[in-house]
Chain A
Amino acid sequence: NAGVMQNPRHLVRRRGQEARLRCSPMKGHSHVYWYRQLPEEGLKFMVYLQKENIIDESGMPKERFSAEFPKEGPSILRIQQVVRGDSAAYFCASSPLMGAVESSGNTIYFGEGSWLTVV
């Protein structure tokens, strides 16, 4: 049973370009979360999505960032017109149930992350 798959693992973009990060949740999981880890900082929540719906985007920057989780295919985190400050590790996680991220039967699983470097 494959885990949460993220690609690309490493992405280099020039300032002003677009970055697209993809996340395929674990089989049977319909909820996806994106977190960002800036250098020397902890993970910060960005967005929580269910298939075709954004449940909570309170951690998303207001501009240039968007996320989707279509009915078919992976979840996409899109960053337009990247700047150096966007350089970070972006982690995706998935869970099978709505509601509590963690309960006795609803464990959240993390992907290996996508490292974005903006030059």
Chain B
Amino acid sequence: AQSVSQHNHHVILSEAASLELGCNYSYGGTVNLFWYVQYPGQHLQLLLKYFSGDPLVKGIKGFEAEFIKSKFSFNLRKPSVQWSDTAEYFCAVNSRAAGNKLTFGGGTRVLVKP
């Protein structure tokens, strides 16, 4: 069975600081990887996704993520955060072998102080 773990439950940082959120998954086969963001009171929005090719993926709002297959990791990064990046971030994985269900990590709540 596939599973996803996110290292931090809560992150607090100041504007202009760099952000890195860890995500590790456990599944040995071919996977697709995603990061979603949920702003307060809003629905989940897709930030970026990885299927194949370049392991460094660029997403919306200045976010990027790097797939490191040997480490089973897909960490999310942003060089300089803004107050508007305050949200909850979810890493997710799916695979054809698991019936294409999205399996989510527990989420990381990010608070950016102005």
Contacts and interface: CB of A to CB of B under 8 A. Distances in A.
Interface in A35-62: 35, 40-45, 48, 56, 58-59
B64 to A, nearest CB: 18
A56 B44 CA distance: 22
B34 to A, nearest CB: 7
Interface stretch (A68-76, A79-87, A94-102): A94-102
Interface residues of B, number: 26
A100 B100 contact: yes
B101 interface: yes
B43 A45 contact: no
Contacts of B96: 100
Contacts of A111: 43
B43 A4 contact: yes
Band of interface residues on A: 20 to 34
Contacts of B106: 41-42
Interface in B63-100: 90, 94, 96, 99-100
Contact of A107 (B6, B41, B46, B103): B46
A45 B102 contact: yes
B90 A43 contact: yes
A42 B46 CA distance: 15
Interface of A: 3-4, 33, 35, 40-45, 48, 56, 58-59, 91, 93, 99-104, 107-108, 110-113
Interface of B: 4, 6, 9, 32, 34, 36, 41-46, 49, 51, 90, 94, 96, 99-107
8 contacts: A35-B104, A42-B90, A91-B43, A101-B100, A101-B101, A108-B102, A110-B36, A111-B43
